[in-house]
Amino acid sequence: MKDVEGRFIVANPATASLMKATGSDALIGKSDFDFYPADIARKFKVDEEKAAQGQISYVIEQQVTHLDGSDRLAFDAQVAAAG
């Protein structure tokens, strides 16, 4: 779960592993920009903002590239906020 600025306020070990963080606590206060190239992090941010505004809900499977250049398959779910 993230705050309105896109920083993690709660994270689980699976998310930490996906993002190559040392643990779930290492995600707290960080955003996708700390773990992914800017173009990928920007796309995540736009989709999160749309979901927060109640515009979209989705589950996607995508290949993501980490800052170290490695690739990984990721599943992302965003649920539109109830208005």
DSSP code at position 34: G
Q: Are the CB atoms for 20 and 35 separated by under 8 Å?
A: yes
Q: What's the pLDDT score for residue 80?
A: 59
Q: What's the pLDDT score for residue 19?
A: 84
Q: What's the pLDDT score for residue 65?
A: 81
Q: What is the pLDDT along the chain (83 residues), one digit of tens a residue?
A: 888 888 999 998 988 988 889 999 999 999 999 998 999 899 888 888 877 777 666 666 667 787 888 887 776 666 655 55
DSSP code at position 81: P
Q: How far apart are CA 6 and CA 64, in angstroms?
A: 18
